[in-house]
Amino acid sequence: MNQFKGKLIVFSAPSGSGKTTIVRHLLHQEEFGLEFSISATSREARGKEIDGEDYYFMSAEKFKQKIKADEFLEWEEVYINNFYGTLKSEVDRIWAKGKHVIFDIDVAGGLRIKKKFPEKTLAVFVKPPDINELIIRLKQRGEESPEKIAMRVAKAPTEMATAPQFDTIILNDDLATALQNAENLVNDFLNK
């Protein structure tokens, strides 16, 4: 691993909670010196997603080969043959630039990173107001089939149950408030 050992800021939540919106906002706050950790996934690109920018897209076979080669900091089979993970090389790439790493990942991956780097990680759970709001947000995306949305919604209660294991919870019932809370948390963490 690289000389610079920056901090790790993890945002996790059920799909549709708003974690990606919050992470994108934080990336625009230049004073934080954050860079987005691009996750690897075996799923197909959605909408306008770009390989190497939104995700590193790869086949399930290639993903499994990288697991065997111990190339992941953390990984999860989120749905059958649908993998997500953080490549060790991605954290090295960001630290080599002298930046802190910000993650937008599933709850299992977020908790694994926190467990591996307890002192260097701020783990934030983004909580939606309720499941009905989650369904509305997922449908408004217009990126997934009703079956995919149903799978995400079915998984949400299990993900919500992990919230107390995170360092802090941001309730995203008002976006402006959630963004301000996220800024305050990150600022405090980076300056301690």
**Taking residues 73-79, what's their average pLDDT?**
88
CATH code of the domain in which 147 resides = 3.40.50.300
State pLDDT tens for residues 27-73.
999 999 999 999 999 999 988 899 999 899 999 999 999 999 999 99
Domains in the chain: how many in total?
A: 1
| Residues facing residue 40 across a β-bridge | 56, 85
Within-domain flag for 151: yes
3-state secondary structure (DSSP) of residue 99: coil
State pLDDT tens for residues 125-151.
999 988 878 778 787 877 777 888 888
Residue pair 72/66 in contact (Cβ under 8 Å)? The answer is yes
Residue pair 32/100 in contact (Cβ under 8 Å)? The answer is yes
**Taking residues 153-173, what's their average pLDDT?**
92
The pLDDT score that the predictor gives to residue 1 is: 43
Helices 175-190, 19-27: inter-axial angle, 10-degree rounding: 50
Within-domain flag for 2: no
Within-domain flag for 32: yes
Q: Tell me the C-alpha distance between 10 and 38, whole Å.
A: 12
Q: Which domain holds residue 17?
A: 8-190
Within-domain flag for 3: no
Mean per-residue pLDDT over the chain, rounded:
91
Residue partners of 2: CB distance under 8 A and separation at least 6:
92, 95, 96
On whether the pTM is more than 0.95, the answer is no
